[in-house]
Structure 1
């Protein structure tokens, strides 16, 4: 699993919700699929004291390219990494795996009020 800490900066005093979205997240399937899984990722959070620095988030996401991991564990790992990095008021992650074999999978973690 990626170990590099994500960077942060002080949050502005206003109430806000920050959203990150990407369809460029890939990770290796841990089963006998023989290729990478492709994901669409949405991260929404309401900062407390800190905001997440987007470059370090991108680096963290890129580090999963060669990692064998399920969608469930990937969503959980991202949630915990962001929670540890910035301790937000609220955090929500939606991870949609690209259709494979006629099946779509979506994993949601966190405060669904941010949906």
Structure 2
């Protein structure tokens, strides 16, 4: 389980960077960098199901860019940007894609507790 703990720690660090990178760059760029960093971590000692679930979670983040790509000029902390997009004409798509992120994260957490 040491590998799982390391992945969670690195994800937390990269997630914090992602959340604030969008203050100076497009959110889609912050998501790209975040997923690239997390996917490049060493999962070799992790259970395969955990690695697979984490990669699906990263894919959900990458898929979210279909919404964030529409807002290249929005700046702010990730959750502030989310609040803005949630009230936009893309609200339905935003909620659907965010739900995928949350659902895949839930699976990652469930697998990590096995």
TM range (shorter): 0.3 to 0.5
Question: What TM-score, normalized to structure 1?
Answer: 0.36
Q: Taking CA–CA contacts closer than 8 Å with sequence separation of 6 or more, which of the two structures ends up with the larger relative contact order?
A: 2
Question: What TM-score, normalized to structure 2?
Answer: 0.36
